[in-house]
Amino acid sequence: MQYKWTVLTNTTLGVIMSSLNMNVVMISLPAIFRGLGINPFVPGEFTYLLWVLMGYSIVLATILVTFGRISDIFGRARLYTWGFIIFTAASVLLSIIPDNTGNFGALLLILFRLVQAIGGGFLMVNSTALLTDAFPPNERGKALGLNQVALIVGTLLGLIVGGILASYDWHLIFIMSVPFALAGAVWSIYRLDRHHEKKEVHMDYMGNITIAIGLILVSLGFTYVLMPYKNSQLGWANPWVIGSFAAGILFIVLFAFAEKRAANPLFNLSFFRIRPFTFGNLSLLLSSLARGASMFLVAIWLQGIYLPLHGIPYTETPLWAGIYMLAMMFGMVTMGPISGWLTDKYGARIFATSGMLVIALSLFALTLLPYNFNPIAFELILFFNGIGNGLFASPNTTSIMNSLPPKDRGTGNGMRMTLSNIGSSISMAIFFSVAITVFTIYVPGAMYSSDVQQGIPTEAAHLLAQIPASGLLFGAFLGVDPLAALPKSLTSSLPGAAINVLESHTFLPNVLGPSFMQGLRTSLYISVVLIGIGAVLSALRGKRYVYEEHNGIEK
């Protein structure tokens, strides 16, 4: 086998494993939290959900450029192998977290996911660089397009297999990654070229520290905004929230100053003199900002509202949510390889820009749907969203990587992936804040009026209306009925008809559905604007540009 195909097959295995893991966790979160015994209506429990989702991306955002630099120094193949090993160890640890351990189990889940992100970081930062090194410029688009197909295959496996395994035992979803990780580690050790001349380069410690602290503080601020403070259901007035935002922004500003003075900066700002690199990364950042949280909000929509309304048991909602989201994956499978092949022939600009426009139109189309939507319209919109993502991803990555000198591809790819993960992390925080803020305005009144109409006693109706909106949404997502939020002394005195109403699988979805759509639409409108700006920036990337060993060649 030619070496380039060896690299492609090995990195494909890594991509399948990492995408499978990321999506299987997203789909299986209800089963995981039910297994741990989390009560979603207890104040502060929503934070655990956010950190399981955001922690992985935050770690990636803070380490990828550093890992890219380390890999350029010590060898990409060697560090790529370590990525498999670390990922395997973390997956085993995740699979042995005991059931019914509550918040302690949730903390272990978050901690081991952070370790898993370290392994994923070594894989992500090196796979694209290894591919770019192995394939000539006129075949890189095709190789990255095939790698995109692997990403989609992993996503499909995660959505379907995750849904099936989660219905039996949530621990199985982490064990599923272990065979892929072990096979990838062994194969990379024996088949990837590990010859590398070690370079003496000093690390940018100040850059690492300031960007890590800044991103963590900003993410903490957005997380605790969603927790009640005094008489408010949201924490915008909480001094700790205000302090986190202020300190986080300060550290990010310090990072910018530190990079200008660093001898070997974490972010090599000279790369931004390369037009395709600059505009490709800016459009990627805006795309990640716009899409990072939108698909998870769609998963909540499916699992917490739509599927229960249609009689799907909560134990089966992960599987059916995966099935409903397959249309998006099929769109990406259809367009990913084609766009990579076309990029090799005609350049990236027209395809990446068109992809962003298609994404914007599909997100706007989602805002036109009611919470109890027509499934045909929903599937068509998701399919076109997948088409747009397939059109954008491979051409944009090819354009960025082709513009970099070979010796700096690990660092440059780390910068690319860091911007993508910064966008995803901030997106999750911002759009949850936006959606929950809007949600909070409407939910208490809707809950109280619905309770009264259903004949629920006034005392119980008042208590249910005081549950934080984030807790109600978390409860709907997990399939926990609102009876769990009432004191036992009160539930024991409720009439049987009221208990039947509160235990009904359609009660919370019908109460929350209209308010959830208000918040979701607001988030999607912002996403459409961000994608539109990203499309303009993508169009400004210029003509085809391929960096050869000694000079850049513009075509």
Give 72-87 pLDDT, tens digit per residue: 777 878 888 899 999 9
Q: Tell whether the model's pLDDT for residue 135 goes beyond 50.
A: yes
Q: If you compute the radius of gyration of the chain from its CA atoms, what whole number of angstroms results? A: 24
Using DSSP bridges, classify how beta strands 545-547 and 552-554 pair: parallel, antiparallel or unpaired. Answer: antiparallel
Phi–psi pair at 345, nearest 5 degrees = -90, -40
Indicate if 45 and 172 belong to the same structural domain: yes
Cβ atoms of residues 105 and 222 within 8 Å: no
Indicate if 376 and 432 belong to the same structural domain: yes
Pick from 33-47, 184-198, 392-406, 441-455: least confident: 184-198
Q: Tell whether the model's pLDDT for residue 546 goes beyond 70.
A: no
Indicate if 271 and 165 belong to the same structural domain: yes
Q: Tell whether the model's pLDDT for residue 553 goes beyond 60.
A: no
pLDDT at 159: 67
The count of structural domains within the chain is: 3
Indicate if 329 and 471 belong to the same structural domain: no
Domain contains 542: yes
H or E stretch including 521? helix 507-539
Domain contains 313: yes
Q: How many residues does the chain have?
A: 555
C-alpha dist (Å) from residue 333 to 6, 201, 303, 326: 22, 40, 24, 10
Spatial separation of the C-alpha atoms in residues 72 and 164, rounded to whole Å: 40
Question: Which range is most confident: 162-166, 295-299, 303-307?
Answer: 303-307
Domain contains 419: yes
C-alpha dist (Å) from residue 450 to 195, 289, 394: 68, 35, 48
pLDDT at 336: 74
Of 125, 177, 403, 176, residue with least CA distance to 281:
403
Domain contains 200: no
pLDDT at 255: 87
Indicate if 326 and 179 belong to the same structural domain: yes
Domain that holds residue 213: 205-265
Q: 400 in helix, strand or coil? A: helix
Indicate if 247 and 270 belong to the same structural domain: no
Domain contains 198: no
Spatial separation of the C-alpha atoms in residues 123 and 11, rounded to whole Å: 8
Q: Give the mean model confidence (pLDDT) for residues 33-44.
A: 82
Cβ atoms of residues 301 and 506 within 8 Å: no
pLDDT level of residue 554 (50, 70, 90 thresholds):
very low
Indicate if 447 and 431 belong to the same structural domain: no
Domain contains 197: no
Mean pLDDT, all residues of the chain: 82
Indicate if 317 and 405 belong to the same structural domain: yes
pTM of the model: 0.78
Indicate if 64 and 167 belong to the same structural domain: yes
Give the amino acid at 380.
L
Of 360, 506, 545, 421, residue with least CA distance to 54:
421
Domain contains 199: no
Indicate if 365 and 252 belong to the same structural domain: no
C-alpha dist (Å) from residue 64 to 126, 279, 288, 395, 468: 10, 20, 16, 21, 36
Q: Which two three-digit tokens encode residue 467? A: 């549950």
Indicate if 537 and 400 belong to the same structural domain: yes
pLDDT at 202: 65
Find the CATH number of the domain harbouring 30: 1.20.1250.20
Pick from 49-58, 147-156, 201-210, 513-522: least confident: 147-156
- Provide the b/e sequence for 151-160 (b: ≥16 CB within 10 Å): bbbbbbbbbb
